[in-house]
């Protein structure tokens, strides 16, 4: 009888799920540093932090995701043991609505909060498109006046400049959802007395308008008319608007001029027969006046009727922060970086819980995109400084090395003792190089007896480290100095300061 072959153990693949990624040291440090700058601006404007669970009930999250052909309408959802459906949050705004509805009697009105954290989207993954990403939001709940919207726009400008995007490299574009409603009224797709009427036809037209950034004027024109065939040959049915209506809508979308005042004047002309549209123009004019009073002019914030965000979500002013500098795409073509933040007024979100309209407005910064933009501009040092490495020349004196590292840490200096195999000194130096350490501390038996230590500036010696095998060779290199043991902390601090200088 043949012997049974030993069954091969099936091991899991060491890969993250598709659409997810790992973030290592420097990336996390960069993100945290940027978030500190953003939240510092938010706090300066009087917003308080709020943390909510990563998981909400599906009922609480609602159905405000964009149209996606994915399971569970684009959210990661599952049924709990009590048959309740729960999901990972897809943004930070839906949890805010739940919190405000739950604690509204205990919270101040208006309630001003900011929140930072990852969100999850069950969407198709692609190059640079992940299913988990960070957002950094700020919202005001309970204020109907557009002064709150103007404040958000001003704060967004300050935020971009605080993280390192200079004036001239960004533009905040502002529009009003009510103007879009006025457009639908004009073409006969919105009846003020019955908003549910023509809902299907209106949805087709509004989705066409929402694709202006991606398809351009010609593509939107086709979708507002008979329809459009894309590059793959697929045909999308259009809104079947006649040429006059089509031209009028495109005229509104292209009403932006060289000045906010003139743009508003043109919009007022287009919206003169629409009550809701005229109200939207009035709100834009008030926002411009409030921003001008604070010193925010057209070099930073502009009225742009082509901005369309969240067609089923926003109810008033909407805004988008766009970076205007050029980058090269994967094919070497020049293009603008694009949007890194957006938001607007959403007066109906809390109403889902309370039955009463609660005015709210806010902004969400796309943290990962903003980090990518800063890297493109060379404004982030992608290699974070590592710790000072205290090398081990005598494993029997580990207590002495731990004393050194404790002194450095107590002085606020990031430091560690090498805890690998100390037999090969070259490996210790390679480790320090891999950690991007600014300084190495060396104390052999002779140094210990003499009451001194050797400290080495690794910024100057890193290129040579891989070829050094002994303590004597290391001492012979430039930028190494012998100092009294009692001066260790002071001299290491000076060496780090020179390297940062």
Check whether 2 has a pLDDT greater than 70.
no
pLDDT attached to residue 401? 96
What are the φ and ψ backbone dihedral angles of 495, each rounded to 5 degrees?
-65, -40
pLDDT attached to residue 230? 84
Residues 6+ apart with CB under 8 A from 245: 186, 187, 188, 224
What pLDDT, in 10s, does the model give residues 279-294? 999 999 999 999 999 9
pLDDT attached to residue 190? 84
What pLDDT, in 10s, does the model give residues 446-484? 999 999 999 999 876 554 555 556 666 555 555 789 999
Taking residues 230-238, report their average pLDDT.
85
CA 159/CA 166 separation, integer angstroms: 10
CA 443/CA 483 separation, integer angstroms: 11
What are the structural domains, with CATH classification, of the chain?
A: 18-144+347-384 (3.30.930.10), 164-329 (3.30.930.10), 388-500 (3.40.50.800)
Residue 274 · residue 185 · CB < 8 Å: yes
| Residue 24 CB neighbours (<10 A) | 9
CA 317/CA 481 separation, integer angstroms: 62
The pTM (predicted TM-score) of the whole model is 0.84
pLDDT attached to residue 200? 82
Most confident of 50-59, 224-233, 326-335: 50-59
Least confident of 6-10, 16-20, 161-165, 402-406: 6-10
More confident residue, 192 or 66: 192
Residues 6+ apart with CB under 8 A from 100: 107, 111, 141, 142, 350, 358, 360
Taking residues 293-321, report their average pLDDT.
90
Say how many residues make up the chain.
501
Check whether 68 has a pLDDT greater than 50.
no
Taking residues 109-122, report their average pLDDT.
95
453 SS3 class: strand
């Amino acid at each position: 009888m043949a012997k049974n072959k030993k069954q091969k153990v099936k091991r899991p693949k060491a890969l993250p799920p598709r659409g997810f990624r790992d973030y290592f040291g420097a990336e996390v440090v960069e993100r945290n540093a940027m978030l500190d700058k953003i939240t510092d601006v938010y706090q300066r404007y009087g917003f308080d932090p709020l943390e909510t669970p990563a998981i909400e009930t599906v009922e609480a999250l609602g159905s405000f995701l964009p149209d996606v052909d994915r399971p569970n309408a684009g959210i990661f959802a599952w049924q709990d043991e009590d048959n309740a459906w729960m999901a990972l949050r897809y943004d930070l705004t839906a949890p805010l609505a739940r919190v405000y509805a739950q604690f509204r009697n205990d919270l101040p009105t208006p309630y001003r909060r900011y929140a930072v954290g990852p969100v999850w989207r069950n969407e198709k993954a692609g190059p640079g498109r992940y299913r988990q990403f960070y957002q950094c939001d700020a919202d005001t709940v309970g204020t109907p006046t557009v002064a709150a919207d103007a404040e958000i726009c001003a704060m967004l400008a300050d935020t971009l400049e605080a993280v390192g995007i200079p004036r001239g490299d960004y533009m905040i574009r502002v529009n009003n959802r009510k103007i879009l409603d006025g457009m639908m009224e004009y073409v006969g797709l919105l009846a003020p007395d019955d908003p549910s009427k023509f809902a299907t036809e209106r949805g087709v037209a509004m989705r066409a308008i929402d694709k202006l950034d991606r398809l351009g004027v010609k593509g939107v024109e086709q979708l507002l008319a008979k329809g459009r065939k894309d590059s793959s040959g697929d045909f999308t049915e259009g809104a079947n608007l006649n040429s006059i209506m089509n031209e009028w809508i495109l005229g509104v979308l292209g009403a932006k001029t060289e000045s906010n005042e003139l743009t508003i004047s043109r919009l007022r002309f287009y919206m003169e027969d629409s009550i809701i549209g005229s109200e939207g123009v009035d709100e834009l004019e008030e926002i411009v006046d409030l921003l001008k009073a604070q010193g925010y002019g057209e070099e930073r914030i502009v009225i742009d009727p082509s901005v369309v965000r969240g067609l089923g979500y926003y109810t008033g002013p909407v805004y988008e922060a766009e970076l205007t500098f050029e980058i090269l795409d994967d094919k070497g073509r020049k293009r603008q970086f694009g949007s890194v933040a957006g938001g607007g007024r959403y007066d109906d979100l809390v109403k889902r819980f309370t039955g009463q309209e609660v005015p709210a407005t806010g902004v969400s910064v796309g943290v990962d995109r903003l980090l990518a933009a800063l890297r493109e501009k060379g404004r982030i040092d992608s290699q974070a400084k590592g710790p000072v490495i205290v090398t081990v020349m005598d494993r029997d004196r580990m207590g002495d090395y731990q004393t050194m590292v404790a002194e450095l840490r107590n002085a606020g200096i990031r430091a560690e003792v090498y805890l690998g195999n100390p037999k090969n000194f070259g490996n210790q130096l390679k480790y320090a190089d891999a950690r991007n350490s600014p300084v190495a501390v060396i104390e052999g038996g002779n140094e210990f007896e003499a009451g001194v230590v050797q400290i080495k500036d690794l910024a100057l010696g890193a290129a040579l480290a891989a070829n050094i095998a002994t303590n004597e060779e290391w001492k012979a290199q430039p930028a190494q100095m012998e100092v009294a043991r009692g001066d260790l902390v002071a001299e290491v601090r000076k060496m780090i300061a020179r390297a940062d200088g």
